[in-house]
Amino acid sequence: MTLHYDIIVIGGGHAGCEAASAAARLGSRTLLLTMDMAKFASMSCNPAVGGVAKGQIVREIDALGGMMGIITDRSAIQFRMLNRSKGAAMWSPRAQCDKEVFSAAWRHTLENTQNLYLWQDSVVEILFDKSSETPRIQGVKTQMGITFSCEKLILTAGTFLGGLMHIGASSAAGGRAGDQASNGLTEQLRSIGFEVGRMKTGTPARLDARTINFELLEPQYGDENPSKFSFSSETEAVKEQLPCFLVYTSKEVHDILRTGFDRSPLFNGTIHGIGPRYCPSIEDKLRTFADKNEHQLFLEPEGRTTNEYYLNGFSSSLPWEVQWEALHKIEGFEDLHIYRPGYAIEYDYFPPTQLHHTLETKVVEGLYFAGQVNGTTGYEEAAAQGLMAGINAHRSRVGESSIVLGRDEAYMGVLIDDLVTKGVDEPYRMFTSRAEYRILLRQDNADTRLTPQGYKIGLISRKRFDEFTKKNQNVESLISFAQGLSIKITEINDYLISVGSDPLTQGKKMGDLLMRNGVTFEGLRKVLPKLEKFIQKGDINTEEIEEAEIRIKYRGYIEREKQIAEKLHRLEEIAIPAGFDFMSMNSLTIEARQKLSRIRPQTIGQASRIPGVSPADVNVLLIKFGR
């Protein structure tokens, strides 16, 4: 037992697990401190991973060497690729998980990671060295009275800092149901110079499946041929899938819910935190969409061996008896029993403009923030931050350059850049619309974008990198084959007519045919023996075929986005000197001077994305530092 570690991670949620795993696997002696070792990466809200844009993030985490994709595959009970009817840039994987298996798989992974040590305790004080102008991390003191020292500290406290739970007029301190809050750290960090805010999130009632009439509900099944999250050959697609179900509220349900509005902590001023716009409570929905008499809800199983179900879309902090009465008026829920009512939770966060792009704080050297303490919401956003904080804390400790992903490299790059340069005024959730280069940032090519870097820094094994290389070779060879193979009219016209495409009047290359709507490799394999023989001989799998097809169909769009990204990279390459006095530049607007002085961007590219910095201000900066 030692009391000194290279890196200490506070919090065993999704951010903390990824941070600790990455730092330890890279070679840092790492300590993960958590209040409950039975709840690593607990799915405190819905038992699912992925979704629109979030699924792309999980694929990126996996491609760079994080663990979330692998853990998800090992615990999945349903898999769906969302938005298949739209363009490939919008395809988003989502998996329903067994939440107990998910947490247990994380614990098994952490306990068997070299250089990683676990300690169950609560941190009551962060220790600083204040001998220099900028304070530096020294270590932590725990509730048991033990002092651990470290070089780097990663804070991933989730909703536990000053956590306060609300159900109607009742409120209680807690980080989530059944867990105590963490108090004292916020005040300490505020005293050393951090700005602090307050946010709110919520969760719905949990339902007993034995009391639900599923025959009255509309089932929602997984994909017929499910895929998986991880690019690694270590995992398999889910075999036996469980269905989710669609249920609907009604005017009667809404009328009952409204009877509790005067006792809602959300509406009577009890809750002061800012709630998530894109995952609102049911009472928020009734206020915002007052003219709607029906809302769609998703009933999701929480595991294979439990009767507990999650009612997605019915988060609430209304009095429990109002929730109870309203739920019983939903079709299929007439005899419903609930395990616990929904509740809201308020918690402290630190506006993320106080961070560098490495996620190290500007106020304290060696201190990193990741997850909901940065004002984000969602397991996937938290895990992404944890992974990058773990990587950068280790690399800083050993004197290596930091890893900062660009907005054209990854949704993770968009996420962190948005947080650091724009800040948050509500819990931040990732959407495809937040990314300028979403055709480049597809879920299918996350490994092409990030696996070489993951291998270079040491998170991707040689075996996995060789698998990636083979996959890339297969994709390239299939694209070359398609672009070079000439197709005769007699071979293809019947197929083209069958998919609603104009027949050929002369021969064409297969690559040109694939540019047409409705024409796919899958369809062409059935009518072109040469193609089928090439695929079989090259042992090219379904995922490789799909990526080759996307790259052929979207080639023009992909090239155009690459050109735009390369032009904008010029702004990212123009550095702004550290400590520059923006207030002295009278040619900038007052708002720009104030924002630049507070956020302190490192490049003109970063400065250009700060709200309040106009194109005219950017031109002034270019004259000063660029041209």
- Which segment of 158-167, 275-284, 410-419 scores lowest on mean pLDDT? 275-284
Indicate the domain borders of the chain: 206-343, 462-559, 573-626
Q: Is 206-343 a domain of CATH 2.40.30.260?
A: yes
Report which secondary-structure segment, H or E, holds 141: strand 136-142
pLDDT, tens only, 27-78: 999 999 999 999 999 999 999 999 999 999 999 999 999 999 999 999 999 9
CATH number of this structure's domain 462-559? 1.10.10.1800
pLDDT reading at 277 higher than 80: no
Q: Do domains 206-343 and 573-626 have the same CATH topology?
A: no
pLDDT band, residue 177 (cuts 50/70/90): confident
Instruction: Look at residue 300 in the predicted model and tell me its pLDDT.
Output: 98
CB distance 156 to 384 below 8 Å: no
Count of C-beta atoms within a 10 Å radius of residue 292: 12
Could you give the dihedral angle defined by the CA atoms of residues 503, 504, 510 and 512, in that order, rounded to the nearest 10 degrees? Answer: -90
**Residues with Cβ < 8 Å from 461, sequence gap 6 or more?**
none
pLDDT reading at 144 higher than 90: yes
448-484 CB burial, b ≥16 within 10 A, e <16: bbbbbbbbebebbeeebbebbeebbebbeebbebbee
297 token code pair: 């809800």
- Please give the model's pTM, rounded to 2 decimal places: 0.93
SS3 of residue 615 by DSSP: helix
pLDDT reading at 275 higher than 90: no
Which CATH superfamily includes the segment(s) 573-626? GidA associated domain, C-terminal subdomain (1.10.150.570)
pLDDT, tens only, 393-412: 999 999 999 999 999 999 99
